[in-house]
Copies of this chain bind each other. A is one copy, B any other.
Amino acid sequence: MASIQGRRPPVMADVAREAGVSHQTVSRVLNEHPNVRGETRTRVLEAIDKLGYRRNLVARALVTKHSRTLGVVSFDTTLYGPASTVYGIEQAARAAGYFVSIVSLKSIDRSGVRDALDYLADQGVDGIVVVAPQRSAARALADLPLDVPAVAVEGGEAGDVPVVCVDQVEGGRLATEHLLSLGHETVWHVRGPSDWLEAEGRVAGWRAALEAAGRQAPEPLAGDWSPRSGYEAGRSLASLRDVTAVFVANDQMALGVLRAFTERGVKVPAQVSVVGFDDIPESEFFSPPLTTIRQDFGAVGRHSIGVLLRQIEGGGEHERLVVPPAFVRRASTARR
């Protein structure tokens, strides 16, 4: 029930008066302190209910030095990957009783990351998750003198900061091995931007699988994650001879590749097999449905909060948590 009186919302002292106790006793009830008599507790709770009292978390944060807020710094949360990760983070944080304050960066350079961290530190967050898929971001994070516990997501080696990431190398390997196992002589690659650690990891896995099979690795084609860049890479590939298998570093670019192949009359998977990466909700309905590598972004988000809370509460060692990717077979790949 909301109070009707005056204007100002009720404070602890009001509840105390109503219940005939001291404000400290009210505080004890709220904080579930054991040494409160049952009858007193119910009287206090009744008063709280009657007055519609809500504890002022700002005042609480001032004295406890804990805001129960976590900061999240991310790059372009419009993209499926970051958006899903942030979603997982938010769910996990809220389940653990933490608020989430978010900063989305347009560009991840050192000063951008530094500003974001400063900004969040000013706000008094208890911990920070940095979704730092770019090398520059990871490096900025590593260099920064942090007075707040932090976790890097997809951060590669981020100095003293614990890292949670998907095993990109393994993903690249899975994709490439699948194509080789179908009898393809070699596998072409449309890679992501060189500043991105995820892109590097996928390239590394692709190269490793080719080498292990004793195959020559063609020069990878450069993309920027966008469908358009995939489209352009696809046009280049379509005009080459001997291209029978392509591993594309994400599903959006794979869509562009498929589009270019369609335009050029290249049949997938009859003439060329294509594997993507991410497993976005759309890829099952591409033409043809895309074979891809699934990343469990939700798990990454949850784990990052787990690691962060352990840091905040326990003290915490320098953890590094790697989430395995999963291979998803669909219709864009076929035997040579």
Contact = CB atoms under 8 A, between A and B. Distances in A.
Contact of A122 (B57, B87, B255): B57
A61 B124 CA distance: 12
A281 interface: yes
A124 B87 contact: no
Contacts of A124: 56-58
A121 interface: yes
Contacts of A91: 104, 106
Contacts of A55: 122
B252 A282 contact: yes
Contacts of A61: 58
Contacts of A256: 285
A284 B228 contact: yes
A67 interface: yes
A227 interface: yes
A62 B69 contact: no
A334 B106 CA distance: 38
Contacts of A282: 227, 252, 255, 282
B78 A83 contact: yes
Interface in A1-44: 2, 9
A107 interface: no
B62 A58 contact: yes
Contacts of A252: 281-282
Interface stretch (A94-102, A170-178, A271-279): A94-102
Interface in A215-265: 226-228, 230-231, 252, 255-256, 258-259, 262
A84 interface: yes
A249 to B, nearest CB: 16
Nearest to A125: B99
Given A104-B91, A231-B285, A285-B228, A59 B62 contact: yes
A58 B54 contact: no
A179 B226 CA distance: 29
B102 A102 contact: yes
Contact of A281 (B9, B227, B281): B227
A77 interface: yes
A86 interface: yes
B122 A54 contact: yes
A306 to B, nearest CB: 18
Interface of A: 2, 9, 54-59, 61-62, 67, 69, 76-78, 80, 83-84, 86-87, 90-91, 94, 99-104, 106, 119, 121-124, 145, 147, 226-228, 230-231, 252, 255-256, 258-259, 262, 281-282, 284-287, 289
Leading 8 A-B pairs by shortest Cβ distance:
A227-B285, A259-B285, A83-B83, A58-B61, A262-B287, A58-B124, A255-B285, A256-B285
19 contacts: A55-B122, A57-B122, A58-B58, A58-B61, A58-B62, A59-B62, A76-B87, A77-B77, A77-B83, A77-B87, A78-B80, A90-B102, A94-B119, A99-B101, A99-B123, A101-B102, A102-B102, A230-B285, A255-B286
